[in-house]
Amino acid sequence: MSWDFALILLILFIVTGIVWCMDVLVFRKRRRLAGEAASAAIEPSLAGLSLEERTQRRQQAYDEAAKAPWWVEYCASFFPVILFVFALRSFLVEPFRIPSGSMLPTLQNGDLILVNKYEYGIRLPVIDRKIIPLGTPERGDVVVFRYPVEPGIDYIKRIVGLPGDEIVYRNKTLFINGQEVRQVRDGDFFEPDNSTYIGRYNETLGKVDHQILVNKRASQGLMAIANYPFRENCQYASNGVQCKVPEGHYFVMGDNRDNSLDSRFWGFVPDRNIVGRAFFIWMNFSEPGRIGRFH
């Protein structure tokens, strides 16, 4: 279990929540009684004072005795905010930042995106155990997941293969269950990582129309970078790779096909690793015009 933001947020939620509950159920009553006792204790010293002065002295004594310790005040003040952030981030949506160009032209380096965390089911925070199944990923979905090789790192790719599918990527062409996925040329795109123009193509996966980048003239060597689970389901050749997707797993690829480290290299994504479906760009400080939904 890594000490990531989700775990820190959970600890803050539990600590502030316990203090808030104790304050509501126990501490406030004790402070009120202490304030009333302090107010009553100064009564003999109030003789001869005006009504306004007596009232002021009683209130002052009450406030001093009933004042909450600083740690109780902080926890009680921050708990509603932490509760809101915790619930929003754990069960509804979570923000992510695109760190690379592997999903060009769909997503660019620097895009700040939102991920729907309930569409595929409700999971317990931190341990990510699914407790309420609501749906399953579909072909063409853009998903954020924990990188199987190093689960502490979040990746974002597009789902190409579903459980039971046979995926073939040969000579820069994708085949799903023996059917070629058609690629229609749509001009060129400047790829900033390699400082060159490469071909942009329209592609349809399931119900999703999107664009990919492929350099048909350049060779691309594919090989396993790790001895991943179900490695025996994949066969590598000089011109591509063929894989049978195991149950409970998905085959993912980046839209920037020549510049993406994905299932072609490290295998399949277990369902338990999927964080959610990416669906909205909420900011890009370099290009604010990119704000909006994507496919």
C-alpha distances in angstroms, 173 versus 48, 110, 146, 157? Answer: 97, 29, 27, 18
Sort 295 into a burial class: Cβ within 10 Å, 0-12 / 13-18 / 19+.
Answer: middle
Of the chain, the percentage scoring pLDDT greater than 70 comes to: 99
Distance between CA 65 and CA 22 in Å, rounded? 18
Tell me the two tokens of residue 214: 């492929």
Q: Tell me: pLDDT of 2 over 50.
A: no
Query: pLDDT tens-digit profile of 70-113?
Result: 999 999 999 999 999 999 998 999 999 999 999 999 999 999 99
Query: pLDDT tens-digit profile of 224-265?
Result: 998 999 999 999 998 999 999 999 999 999 999 999 999 999
Facing residues of 85 across strands?
none
Q: Tell me: pLDDT of 3 over 70.
A: no
Which has the closest alpha carbon to 275: 135, 149, 118, 159? 118
- Asked if 293 and 279 touch (Cβ cutoff 8 Å), the reply is yes
Which has the closest alpha carbon to 76: 10, 8, 28, 6? 28
Sort 118 into a burial class: Cβ within 10 Å, 0-12 / 13-18 / 19+.
Answer: middle
Tell me the two tokens of residue 122: 């409700």
What is the mean pLDDT of the segment spanning 179-189? 96
Q: Tell me: pLDDT of 209 over 50.
A: yes
The SS3 of residue 67 is coil
Query: pLDDT tens-digit profile of 136-146?
Result: 999 999 999 99
pLDDT band of residue 6 (cuts 50, 70, 90) is confident
Distance between CA 75 and CA 16 in Å, rounded? 5
Tell me which residues are annotated as active site.
102, 157
